[in-house]
Amino acid sequence: MGFYKEHICTFLSNFDANREKIRAFEGCTFLELYQDKQESNIFFTYSYWRNETDLDKYRQSDLFKNVWSKTKPLFDRKPEAWSVEKIVSLN
């Protein structure tokens, strides 16, 4: 997600206020936020969901709608999202 630089603090405040609720949402087993080292206005959320149904329930929830309604106006470009399948993990 790319944000207008003047809105980074607003985004971070909104994420901070909602991160525990998102992580506690049924089916969410992991949530992290990353910031690009080169372009400080670019962020990535990384989350694990038990299954696609749980993710879809989150996307239809009031929690998501509230977070998204406050996040969307802050973007300086179209956001991108991917659902991926883990192939290999080395711990």
Residues 5-74, CATH architecture: 2-Layer Sandwich (3.30)
pLDDT of residue 53: 97
User: In this predicted model, what pLDDT tens digit does every residue of 61-84 receive, in sequence order?
Assistant: 999 999 999 999 999 999 999 999
The pLDDT value recorded for residue 67 is: 97
pTM across the whole model: 0.90
Q: Where are the domains of the chain?
A: 5-74
Give me the count of residues in the chain.
91
DSSP the chain: -BB-GGGHHHHHHHHHHHHHHHHHSTTEEEEEEEE-SS-TTBEEEEEEES-HHHHHHHHTSHHHHHHHHHHGGGBSS--------------
Name the pLDDT band for 91 (thresholds 50, 70, 90): confident
pLDDT in tens, 3-62: 999 999 999 999 999 999 999 999 999 999 999 999 999 999 999 999 999 999 999 999
